[in-house]
Structure 1
Amino acid sequence: MFNHPSEFVTFKASPHLPGVELYSARLVDHAFAPHLHDGYSLGAIEAGVERFRYRGSEHLAPAGTLVLLNPDELHTGQAEVESGWTYQMLYIEPATLLRMTGSEAWFPAAATHDPALAGAFRTGFSRLWHAPDDLAFVSTFTQLVDTIVARHGRNARAVQAADPRSLRRMAAMRRVVDCIEAHLDQPLGIETLAAEAGMSLFHFVRTFSATFHVTPHQYLQARRTARAKALLGRRVTPSDAAAAAGMTDQSHLNRWFKRAYGVTPAQYQQQIGTRPLAAARA
């Protein structure tokens, strides 16, 4: 699966709390293409150093660093040192975190060196992975995430409002991303998206890229891959997920999914227990 013998990627859907997915990985040669997650990505670097690009900036995350990414934010990932990096993550749907904390959390810093909390994260993550029941899982999860949010999060509603010009630009970009989301399974032309923004082609590409730190095409492919991941989690076959996400075929989905998440669609479903029944696949 990977070029380096020590590399691995493992997903686990929580059977105890809907909207939570656990992820553990060690990577050396593999580099993640720009991709995103529908929910929050909260994790800790156990060993090595990761380099990743997020919101237009490069970040280095050595051991002892918390990685705290907000929903729907494109990012990359690769090793900064020859030994690679080992890390664990929690992927949390926004509705689950909102129900838990009672507010819309926002993490202003993508990489925060906090060795004590990173160590607590690794301990808590191990307990979550092996939790025997709902009581053990939810108790550990609540304590761990509450600590992270209290120490490094902010209420999204408290983020200072942008100036009027920026608000107009963001409104235009919101129309574009809503259009993309509504038509992921269909061909999308640059003219359509530029018209949605009310801009010329080149002005639209420049504005979109400045706002999201990726090109419109990179964003579209990331959203399609994320749509396929969500469908795979609901036991949809890889071929049907590819069609529903606007991929040309299953091979197209395989290539993009592996680049984004480190595993193939079939491997992901095997790990989280959502492989379609044999009769359905037939």
Structure 2
Amino acid sequence: MNFYQKEINRIRTVCYKNQEQLQTVIRTKKFIDVHFEKEMNLNLLSNCQFTSKFHLLRLFKKYYGLTPMQYLTDRRIEKAAEYLKKKMTVTETCFAVGFECTSSFSTLFKNKMGIAPAAFQKSNFRKVD
């Protein structure tokens, strides 16, 4: 093993010291990606990974820069935009991505996307037609 390989291995162990923690965070993200439309909370996520919810919260924020719930909201909004482009109604989209209330969905969508869901949908209909 030459000097550069040794140095790469040393840096890798410093940056990713605890592989188990990294795997926990990656599995949590994948779980959210697959089950984003289901009711989810920090207790459920931590139970799935057999870890403390506070520990999971810190780890997720450390590696992704967001809390798991912030990531879930972003994922739902991203998917909602796809559904709205496919001509689903705002109400259908709201429930399809896991929101329970159309008003909170509309508010979050507007905050994240800068435009209301109905306006987003109309602007995309014009582009497609």
Structure 2 match to 1:211: 63
Q: CA deviation at 1:167?
A: 4.0
Structure 1 match to 2:97: 245
> Structure 1 length as normaliser, TM-score?
0.38
2:31 pairs with 1:186: no
| Contact 1:175 1:196 (8 Å CA) reproduced | no
| Contact 1:187 1:246 (8 Å CA) reproduced | yes
**Structure 1 pair 227/193, CA: closer, same or farther in 2 (3 Å)?**
same
Question: What is the identity, as a one-letter code, of the residue corresponding to 1:181?
Answer: D
Structure 1 match to 2:76: 224
Q: CA deviation at 1:214?
A: 1.6
Q: Quote the RMSD (CA, aligned, Å).
A: 2.3
Structure 2 match to 1:271: 123
Q: CA deviation at 1:181?
A: 2.0
| Contact 1:176 1:197 (8 Å CA) reproduced | yes
Q: CA deviation at 1:242?
A: 0.4
Structure with more strand by fraction? 1
Distance 2:120 2:96 in 1: 18
Task: Pick the aligned partner of 1:254 from 88, 94, 106.
Answer: 106
Question: What is the identity, as a one-letter code, of the residue corresponding to 1:169?
Answer: Q
Distance 2:92 2:122 in 1: 17
Q: CA deviation at 1:180?
A: 1.3
**Structure 1 pair 263/167, CA: closer, same or farther in 2 (3 Å)?**
same
Aligned length: 116
Identity of aligned residues (%): 24
Distance 2:19 2:109 in 1: 33
| Contact 2:109 2:115 (8 Å CA) reproduced | yes
Structure with more helix by fraction? 2
| Contact 1:254 1:265 (8 Å CA) reproduced | yes
User: Is there any run of 5+ residues in structure 1 with no aligned partner, and where?
Assistant: 1-159, 275-282
| Contact 1:172 1:196 (8 Å CA) reproduced | no
Deviations 1:194-224 (A, max 9, x none): 1333321211111111111122221111111
Distance 1:197 1:212 in 2: 17
Distance 1:162 1:221 in 2: 31
> Structure 2 length as normaliser, TM-score?
0.77
Distance 1:266 1:273 in 2: 11
